């Protein structure tokens, strides 16, 4: 399912004394099956953009296209339930939204709300719990008796159980330990690959953006400052540094090495493996047998 934002503007509390322009002139095209990372400083408008992707917010100017649905400013957009079913959002700290007596009921809530039968919802709860790496015996427990990391996974399972075509992730690993972060990011990446799930990730981690995304959009003060493939974005690191943003460690190492040796590696490397191969080539090219 393709998604497009066309010249989207959003003002919180429009037409009140508290009106606040959050994003302006945002155009982003997300073809079906893309993994897109959205990066930018705090307050740059990332979460506001995300909430347009399933029509939780509707633009005050411009158009949002989600599959066959068009959501335009200045008009009543009805029947958005099918859109919300297709686009699952994992909010920051999604565990704060757990509320049912048992994990099973919590995961079943979304699908049942969208008309899935009880038996089918139960089956989905079991499958999605396994997908997020939890054991089935957790189903009968209260979500509030779980660890923070387990609660996060249950909340994610609740979104997966809706069987969305698009998954939207607002810093899904904030506050988790490094191992939990990697497990969850790898899980989203395999879902993306196996089910061709379009994935839109807000992250402060340049490492994750470089490792997982096909496309990167950089937001600055409510506008799109730059968009492109990770190779395009990270091959002019000066732009990022000027915006006060970081580059991945692997890119930082390459820049430092190139400065010290006065030699270029030929291409920008985004993984340790690529970097090792390029450095090996450089070294072997420099040493005569
Ligand atoms: N509910 C709201 N009411 C009024 N203004 C808001 C509201 N939510 C966000 N804003 C404002 O809109 C702008 C964009 O906020 P947004 O939450 O989209 O940024 P963000 O990039 O997600 O930041 P962070 O990295 O801190 O999550 C900010 O200036 C913020 O103060
Ligand atoms: Mg945010």
The CB of 45 under 6 Å from ligand 1? The reply is: yes
Give me the pLDDT at residue 93, please: 87
**Mean pLDDT per segment of 10 residues, for the chain of length 289 residues?**
97 96 98 97 96 95 95 87 91 89 96 95 96 94 93 94 95 90 93 94 94 96 96 89 92 92 89 92 69
CB 265 within 8 A of CB 279: yes
Q: Which residue's CA lies nearest to atom 4 of ligand 1? A: 12
pLDDT at 115: 92
What gap in Å lies between CA 151 and CA 45, rounded to an integer?
A: 27
How many degrees, rounded to 5, is the angle at CA 270 between CA 266 and CA 273? 90
The pLDDT value given to residue 214? 96
Q: Whose CA is nearest to atom 6 of ligand 1?
A: 12
Which residue, judged by its Cα, is nearest atom 11 of ligand 1?
22
Query: So what's the pLDDT on residue 140?
Result: 96
Question: Which pLDDT does position 146 carry in this prediction?
Answer: 94
Best residue for ligand 1 mutational test, from 46, 90, 218, 244 (most atoms within 8 Å of Cβ): 46
- d(CA 111, CA 13) in angstroms, rounded, equals 31
Q: Is 44 in the pocket of ligand 1 (CB under 6 A)?
A: yes
67 backbone dihedrals φ, ψ, rounded to 5°: 55, -125
Q: What is the pLDDT of residue 286?
A: 55
pLDDT of residue 79: 83
Give the per-residue pLDDT at 164.
95
- What is the whole-number distance in angstroms between the Cα of residue 23 and the centre of ligand 1? 9
Is residue 246 within 8 A of residue 240, CB to CB? The reply is yes
pTM: 0.92
């Amino acid at each position: 399912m393709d998604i497009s934002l066309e010249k989207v503007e959003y003002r919180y509390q429009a037409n009140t004394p508290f009106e606040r322009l959050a994003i302006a002139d945002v155009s982003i095209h997300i073809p079906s099956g893309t993994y897109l990372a959205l990066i930018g400083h705090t307050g740059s408008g990332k979460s506001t953009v995300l909430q347009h992707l399933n029509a939780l917010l509707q633009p005050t100017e411009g158009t949002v296209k989600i599959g066959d649905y068009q959501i335009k400013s200045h008009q009543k957009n009805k029947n958005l339930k099918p859109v919300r079913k297709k686009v699952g959002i994992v909010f920051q700290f999604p565990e704060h939204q757990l509320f049912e007596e048992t994990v099973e009921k919590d995961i079943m809530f979304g699908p049942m709300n969208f008309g899935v039968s009880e038996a089918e919802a139960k089956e989905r709860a079991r499958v999605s719990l396994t997908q997020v790496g939890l054991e089935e015996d957790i189903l009968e427990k209260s979500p509030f008796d779980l660890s923070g990391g387990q609660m996060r996974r249950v909340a994610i399972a609740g979104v997966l159980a809706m069987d969305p075509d698009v998954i939207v992730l607002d810093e899904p690993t904030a506050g988790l330990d490094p191992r939990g972060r990697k497990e969850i990011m790898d899980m989203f990446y395999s879902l993306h690959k196996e089910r061709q799930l379009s994935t839109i990730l807000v992250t402060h981690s340049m490492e994750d953006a470089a490792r997982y995304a096909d496309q990167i959009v950089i937001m600055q003060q409510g506008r799109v400052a730059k968009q492109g493939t990770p190779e395009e974005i990270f091959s002019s690191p000066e732009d990022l540094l000027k915006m006060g943003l970081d580059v991945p460690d692997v890119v930082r190492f390459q820049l430092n090495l190139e400065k010290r040796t006065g030699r270029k590696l030929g291409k920008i490397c985004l993984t340790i493996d690529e970097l090792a191969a390029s450095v090996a080539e450089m070294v072997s090219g420099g040493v005569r047998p």
